Chain A
Amino acid sequence: MSEPAILAEGLAKRFGKVRALDGVDLEVYEGSVLGLLGPNGAGKTTAIRILATLLRPDAGSALVGGYDVVRQPAQVRRLIGLTGQYAAVDELLSGQENLYMLGRLLGLPSKEARARAASLLESFELSDAALKTVKAYSGGMRRRLDLAASLVGRPRFLYLDEPTTGLDPRSRRQLWNMITGLVREGTTVLLTTQYLDEADQLADRIAVIDHGRVIAAGTSDELKSKTGGQVVEARVQPLDMASVARIMTEVSGNEASVDHDSQLITVPVGDPGMLRTASRQLDEAGITVSELALRRPSLDEVFFALTGRPADGEQPDQPDIEGSTT
């Protein structure tokens, strides 16, 4: 395999007492998408900021397109486009003026900057709002303009830091389509997200990051099979939930998780034959289930299996040990 286009080794960064990054290695190949997946505070943004030359790492090194982010930041900046967590566009300018300004800052002659702005506005379905002040844009429009803004310089590498956080499902899907389009045209993308479906949808490879470390990496399929293969899922009446959960825990040897809202009980299983055993045991207990199925785990479950907690940023339940509560 060829050299990775982005290569980070042992990146470490501390903010006061907090270790934001604690030895992160990343590889992104030309033309592919790496999804950096993790909860809030895992260190995703810090990693992106280092690769975008906005932060210096305390330790470790990173090459972007062969240039060192610490020693050759100016060369790196010529290769990258950055879309941060907040739509970093000028609220008091129009969409057109935002893109035109960036084109000029990137050295385009006035006429070309104007043409570039117009073509990007069209690509991102913002032509109608081109002359409106960004203050009047919706959240989805801002994000699209923000993405367009990071593309003015035709970057080889595009960094997207949680590009769809806070967007409604429709705008989210729209943005996904646009990102997919860019990748098809050959842009290399480094994407951070706390949404597992987003990583699943967009990324060729996923690095799961938690507490400043990469705890697993691979394709979505690899990650899913790495964590114990499959999941048995049962939909039952509310009254039966406790006993079904007990039976499924006994059969699989794993803790079954119970979702009261959807009346779903899920448990990871090592052996697909468990499905039949579970079915028989439920039958013997006289419980009817409306749905019983074997399926591959979702990335949510993968994340849970890797970290022992859900991916939405909650800390694991602390056992009540003395001195921990007052």
Chain B
Amino acid sequence: MSTAVTVGRAGPTSGRIAPREAIHHVLTVMRRNLLHIRSDPEQLVGMTIQPLMFLMLFVYVFGGAIAGSSRQYLQFALPGILVQGVAFTGFQTALGLNIDFQRGLIDRFRSLPISRSSVVAGRILADAVRVLWGVLIIAGFGMLLGFRFHGGFAGAIGGIALATLFGITVCWPMAFIGVSAKSPEAVNTWGFMIILPLTFASSVFAPASTMPGWLQAFVKVNPITKVVDATRGLMLGGPVARPLWQSLIWLIVITAVFAPLAISRYRRRV
């Protein structure tokens, strides 16, 4: 046992955590979560292969039937599949937080003199990187398959930015599920029950106008429809103003509701 283990301990200063320290804590937690990808490369497969699979299956299996040709359908579906793909990234947020609770790591973090929200914020920041990765992979692969941005450079950047922003926003409700659910299995159950119907009952794969009235009523208010319509408009060139501001309002509302919920749940969970 070396004597270096406990000598020279730091004395307490005050209870407050300076903003600069808090940012440093968030970045440290973010780094930790990104390092996970290296030891668990399957996460990368989930983030990369899964949306590509969706893209291929939908475009080549249903594309001809839905849009007359898979080439035409690719133009329609890519922005939607982009949005759906990032919605699933939120699972990493939920599962990661839930597993940290199970393993007792959250107790360790909470017994440290760091702000409690920095653990959640660091998690989401790391997931923002994953979201951006997913968006770029799908967009790049789509282009290889023949997708073309018709909305100009600004539209392409705008569409990618909106999809990314949406992906980050979805992390908050998923974080809430992650800290509330009793087990990773429960996270999966709740996550799928929410994400799957929300992404399918939207304009991701087909225009709302082709659906029965009762479904249209839901699809038209579904925030995912707004985001998909705006992303599509930006990427393909078309009407964007209305879906864009509606999307942004939704994103703000979702974050304003679920970020405080997730953080307060995180603080209080035993």
Chain A residues in 8 Å Cβ range of B103: 86, 88, 91
Chain B residues in 8 Å Cβ range of A58: none
Q: Which residue of A lies closest to B38 (CB)?
A: A92
Min CB gap B3→A, angstroms: 6
Min CB gap B97→A, angstroms: 13
- The answer to whether the Cβ of B19 comes within 8 Å of any Cβ in the partner chain is no
Contact yes or no, B108 A82, CB < 8 A: yes
Neighbour of A182 across the interface among B6, B13, B28, B270, CB < 8 A: B6
Contact yes or no, B17 A122, CB < 8 A: no
Min CB gap A66→B, angstroms: 9
Chain B residues in 8 Å Cβ range of A78: 10-13, 113
Chain B residues in 8 Å Cβ range of A53: 110-111
Q: Which residue of B lies closest to A179 (CB)?
A: B1
Chain B residues in 8 Å Cβ range of A104: 24, 28
Neighbour of B108 across the interface among A73, A84, A97, CB < 8 A: A84
* Binary interface encoding of chain A residues 142-180 relative to chain B, with 1 for a CB under 8 A from any of its CBs, else 0: 000000011101111000000000000000000001100
Contact yes or no, A123 B2, CB < 8 A: yes
Contact yes or no, B8 A75, CB < 8 A: no
Min CB gap A281→B, angstroms: 52
Chain B residues in 8 Å Cβ range of A120: 5
Contact yes or no, A74 B16, CB < 8 A: yes
Question: In the complex, A243→B214 CA distance in Å?
Answer: 85
Min CB gap B35→A, angstroms: 6
- The answer to whether the Cβ of B21 comes within 8 Å of any Cβ in the partner chain is yes
Question: In the complex, A87→B40 CA distance in Å?
Answer: 20
Chain B residues in 8 Å Cβ range of A82: 107-108, 111
Chain B residues in 8 Å Cβ range of A155: 6, 9
Question: In the complex, A53→B267 CA distance in Å?
Answer: 11
- The answer to whether the Cβ of A101 comes within 8 Å of any Cβ in the partner chain is yes
Chain A residues in 8 Å Cβ range of B270: 15, 55
- The answer to whether the Cβ of B144 comes within 8 Å of any Cβ in the partner chain is no
Neighbour of B112 across the interface among A65, A97, A102, CB < 8 A: A102
User: Which bucket holds chain B's interface residue count?
Assistant: 35 or more
- The answer to whether the Cβ of A279 comes within 8 Å of any Cβ in the partner chain is no
User: Which bucket holds chain A's interface residue count?
Assistant: 35 or more
* Binary interface encoding of chain B residues 231-243 relative to chain A, with 1 for a CB under 8 A from any of its CBs, else 0: 0000000000000
Tell me the dominant secondary structure on chain B's binding face: loop
Min CB gap A32→B, angstroms: 15
* Binary interface encoding of chain A residues 172-201 relative to chain B, with 1 for a CB under 8 A from any of its CBs, else 0: 000001100110011100000000000000
- The answer to whether the Cβ of A77 comes within 8 Å of any Cβ in the partner chain is yes
Neighbour of B1 across the interface among A77, A89, A102, A178, CB < 8 A: A178
* Binary interface encoding of chain A residues 111-136 relative to chain B, with 1 for a CB under 8 A from any of its CBs, else 0: 00000000110110000000001010
- The answer to whether the Cβ of B213 comes within 8 Å of any Cβ in the partner chain is no
Question: In the complex, A49→B269 CA distance in Å?
Answer: 13
Question: In the complex, A81→B108 CA distance in Å?
Answer: 9
- The answer to whether the Cβ of A294 comes within 8 Å of any Cβ in the partner chain is no
Question: In the complex, A149→B7 CA distance in Å?
Answer: 16
Question: In the complex, A153→B7 CA distance in Å?
Answer: 10
Contact yes or no, B114 A54, CB < 8 A: no
- The answer to whether the Cβ of B189 comes within 8 Å of any Cβ in the partner chain is no
Min CB gap A171→B, angstroms: 16
Contact yes or no, A93 B32, CB < 8 A: yes
Contact yes or no, B24 A92, CB < 8 A: no
Contact yes or no, A93 B39, CB < 8 A: yes
Min CB gap B22→A, angstroms: 11
Q: Which of A52-87 contact B (CB under 8 A)?
A: 52-55, 65, 67, 72-75, 77-82, 84-87
Contact yes or no, A123 B10, CB < 8 A: no
Question: In the complex, A123→B107 CA distance in Å?
Answer: 24
Chain A residues in 8 Å Cβ range of B25: 105
Neighbour of A105 across the interface among B8, B9, B12, B28, CB < 8 A: B28
- The answer to whether the Cβ of B212 comes within 8 Å of any Cβ in the partner chain is no
Contact yes or no, A97 B35, CB < 8 A: yes
Q: Which residue of B lies closest to A104 (CB)?
A: B28
Which A residues form the contact surface with B (CB < 8 A)? 15, 49, 52-55, 65, 67, 72-75, 77-82, 84-93, 97, 101-102, 104-107, 119-120, 122-123, 133, 135, 149-151, 153-156, 177-178, 181-182, 185-187
30 contacts between A and B (CB under 8 A): A49-B107, A52-B111, A53-B110, A53-B111, A65-B12, A67-B12, A74-B16, A77-B111, A78-B10, A78-B12, A78-B13, A79-B12, A88-B107, A91-B103, A92-B35, A93-B35, A93-B39, A107-B21, A107-B24, A123-B5, A133-B39, A151-B5, A153-B9, A154-B5, A154-B10, A182-B5, A182-B6, A185-B6, A185-B7, A186-B6
